Structure 1
Amino acid sequence: MNADHTYFAITINPHHSSNELSVLFSGDGKPVPLHKMGPAVHDYYLIHTVQAGEGIFEMNNRSYPCKTGDTFFIFPGELFNYVADAHQPWHYTWVAFTGRAAGMMLSQIGVTPENAVISGCSPRVLRHHYRHIRSSFQQSTFPVMEDMEAAGWLRLLIRELGRSNTHQITAKPVTETDIERQIGQAIRYLELQYTQTVSIEELAHKLGYHRTYLCKMFKQYTGFAPMQYLFKIRMERAKQLLETSMTIDQVASSVGFNDALYFSKQFRKWTGTAPSVYRKEQKS
């Protein structure tokens, strides 16, 4: 038993990872009254969720009184301290993590060193995610797999916290209209599905617009009709692939053409050069 806690449990990730998101350790504890941490600095991110009780968290010259349902965030390199209440000391769960994507993910849900607390979360729901993070390190002889599983549950935890912090999440500019957002979605769809058979009717149905209206607005915002834009994506990607060792057949298939001869004809129409000639020119 930790002398500063009436209850204390912690699990540590046995696998050192440099992934975009990796849990270091996770725990659950009930500190004694006035138990204090800091002033200190960590070299990792640390999230605490208050399951019950109260306390004070301080970071970046701000003081946050925290109670049941509040979650506070410690950032690498930021001086912090926190102390349990004298009469109703908090019970909290926590998770420490690192990774290239960590700061970006917290920023996306509106959490920064200047706004480091989210309120109004369901302790029960978050406790479920914390429990799964900890149990990830207790069930197999393959630490790499445990690391992956814990990172997955951490993502779900961050997602759940984001749901309670929508007022802090940066919204798209108010000047962006519904049709602009929908055209952006259409472009994204074409950029991801260009290898497949694409139906403009189906795309229009997904976005909730009539085919004619979607085509008109798409051309207004991009300068291309949807199928022209799709063709452009395919040809530009084909140019990239022709600089590799892939065969013409393989390139054609990779950009959505089942017939290599038809692909060659379309590529020549787009570039003025046959694929084989284009390849030789790039190598010369």
Structure 2
Amino acid sequence: MSHYDYRYTSDGFIPSIELKLFYCGSEQCAPGHSWGPALKDHYKFLYIHSGRGIYRVGERTYELGPGGAFLLSPDVVAYYRADEQDPWTYSWVAFDGINAGTYLRLARLSPFEPVVQCRQPEAFELIFRHIYEACQLKVSSGTRLLSHLYALLSLLIEQAEAGHAPAKMDNPQETYVKKAIEFVHINYSQTVTIAEMADWIGLERKYLSKLFKQATGLSPQDYLIQFRMNKACELMGNPSLSIGEIAGSVGYKDPLLFSKMFKKLNGVSPTEYRKSS
């Protein structure tokens, strides 16, 4: 399969709310080729056709080879790298939607269980072949791509169910981390502290910080800052908002402190970022 990277654009059909496809692609990686540590604001599923590499999320590292697959989850720091001697070739599909998390949970995939060994590699190879072929179409490729995404998720769910294990309930630690992430998503525009987050969840602050870093690779404070800056970057696209208004919208009363943090994370000031975007 040759290298390609397809960015989805609407082809006229009514866009799906429950599942949205953003982009897909395939690549034969050079030795040692890597991505991250970084994070995304959507899901990205990568399937390995051949070769080997590692995937690191939080404080866990996984070694993967042919037929293996791994999931990047929104706002979770991740890193992956091709093997120096036997670099992998993989395909990917990026998506989101109100039901995306539900489908993935049924497939036993989450930030806490981000890898899977595909027991029917020929079926997964076929789906990604269909995705590649759909990308070559000039008409209705979006509709067809979305149908292949559903087929991929269905295959993952069927494989999970074939293990005859009931759907696992979130363990308490996972629930605490999810609540912390929910707290950030709800309150990032307010002046909040990690102590307030811990009180809201009902945990001691140091214990929450330990659980959170094990799961995401970031401290709660760093996650809050990163999430705020991601939202700020989105707001930069609105020319009617001043830098001060954007700062206030993401929880910073002091525009100078906001600009300092923005430059620390993005390498440029908010004004420079806006000019270049």
Give the TM bin, normalised by the shorter chain.
0.5 to 0.7
Query: Are 1:152 and 2:147 matched, yes or no?
Result: yes
Secondary structure of the structure 1 residue equivalent to 2:79: strand
Residue in 2 that maps onto 1:9:
4
Going from structure 1 to structure 2, the CA distance change for 1:168 and 1:69 (only over 3 Å counts) comes to farther
Query: What pairs with 1:109-148 in structure 2 (closer than 5 Å)?
Result: 109-141=107-139, 145-148=140-143
Secondary structure of the structure 1 residue equivalent to 2:3: strand
The one-character-per-residue Cα deviations of 1:149-205 (angstroms, maximum 9, x if unpaired) are: 2222111111212333334963499xxxxxxxxxxxxxxxxxxxxxxxxxxxxxxxx
Match of 1:66 among 64, 69, 84: 64
How many residues are paired up? 165
Residue in 1 that maps onto 2:89:
91
Secondary structure of the structure 2 residue equivalent to 1:112: coil
Shift of 1:105: 0.4
The one-character-per-residue Cα deviations of 1:64-122 (angstroms, maximum 9, x if unpaired) are: 11011111000011100000011111111111112111111000111111001111433
- The answer to whether the 8 A contact 2:42-2:73 is kept is yes
CA distance in 2, matches of 1:77, 1:33: 27
Shift of 1:24: 1.2
Query: Are 1:170 and 2:156 matched, yes or no?
Result: no
- The answer to whether the 8 A contact 1:20-1:101 is kept is yes
Calculate the TM-score normalised by the size of structure 1.
0.53
Shift of 1:49: 0.6
What is the letter of the counterpart of residue 56 of structure 2? E
Match of 1:81 among 79, 82, 85: 79
Query: What pairs with 1:209-248 in structure 2 (closer than 5 Å)?
Result: none
Going from structure 1 to structure 2, the CA distance change for 1:125 and 1:43 (only over 3 Å counts) comes to same
Residue in 2 that maps onto 1:50:
48
CA distance in 1, matches of 2:164, 2:115: 11
- The answer to whether the 8 A contact 1:13-1:23 is kept is yes
Task: State, as a whole percentage, how many aligned pairs show the same letter.
Answer: 27
CA distance in 2, matches of 1:69, 1:59: 19
Higher RCO (CA < 8 A, seq sep 6+): 2
- The answer to whether the 8 A contact 1:51-1:90 is kept is yes
CA distance in 2, matches of 1:61, 1:97: 25
- The answer to whether the 8 A contact 2:44-2:95 is kept is yes
CA distance in 2, matches of 1:172, 1:120: 19
Calculate the TM-score normalised by the size of structure 2.
0.54
Query: Which has the larger Rg?
Result: 1
Secondary structure of the structure 1 residue equivalent to 2:35: strand
